[in-house]
Amino acid sequence: MSRGNPYIAAMISQADSLAFVKMHGAGNDFVIIDSRARPGGVMTPELAQAIGDRHRGIGYDQLAELRASDEADLDLYFWNADGSQAGACGNATRCVAARVMDERQAARLSIRTARGLLQAERRDAQIWVNMGPPILDWRGIPLAQACDIDHLPLPGDPAAVGMGNPHCVHFVDDAEAAPVATRGPDVERDPLFPEATNVEFASLIGPDHLRLRVWERGTGVTLACGSGACATAVAGHRRGLTGRRVSIKADGGRLEVDWREDGVWLSGPVAHVFDGVISAAFLAGAR
């Protein structure tokens, strides 16, 4: 957060604290801040980074900020723990959808993100979100140069898929043994990805059933990644490994992906962990 930010100073003087909600989807954990009553929101890269510190802040894989929308039921913005912004986050979208559906006693929501206008539905106690069609053009993913997105010119023969954020999917014999923590950061910053990339390692463990481990751009190793699960399912189908509906076992739980004509639908567990309050002293120190 920039020093002397007048909006944040006003926020701190008008309210001594900032409420938040902690949720997770299959172990993919989020801080959720409701800024629908605050025009322009409250988040900045510096504040997002301070809150994301698991030792001095709260800690999260991504932060989701709700804002009022003229085009949908709500707008949703995503932040990584390093203070950078993310264009998409499937599990955070599902968590927010579950909470707002409960608030409104609704079974459907429209959510505007940088990815576009997404639809969320509650079906048989499960929250499904349409993450939109996959991006399969090298420019849109984006890549730095034209190449075969199903067989990138990188070690391990990975595939690239865009889900509103870039993904580099490696298919390996055993995802349990994949070098996620060491190979992940190298691939994340490879020059082929001008905006960096999320990195997935997946192995086939049964018909239409993949084991997935993830290195998330701007965060590191996470227990699950919704957009990464979507990208992996798309890449797996394009490689001929799976059908269009895939069960994915992540470190933190099971996700379901259904690639339909209208987009890639994602579902899985959602949990409300706790409600909390960020102190005025912390907010002032993060300025």
The set of catalytic residues is: 89, 225
Looking at 143-251, list the stretches that DSSP marks H as alpha helix, in order from N- to C-terminal side. 180-188, 226-238
Nearest 5°: phi and psi at 177? -95, 5
Provide CB contacts within 8 A for 240, sequence distance 6+.
Answer: none
The pair of three-digit structure tokens given for residue 223, joined into one six-digit string: 């227990």
| Residue 264: alpha-carbon gap to chain centroid | 14
Count CB-CB contacts under 10 A for residue 254: 15
Strand-pair partners of 17: 279
What backbone torsions phi and psi does residue 163 show, to the nearest 5 degrees?
-125, 35
The residue type at 182: T
Q: Are the C-beta atoms of residues 113 and 208 closer than 8 Å to each other?
A: no
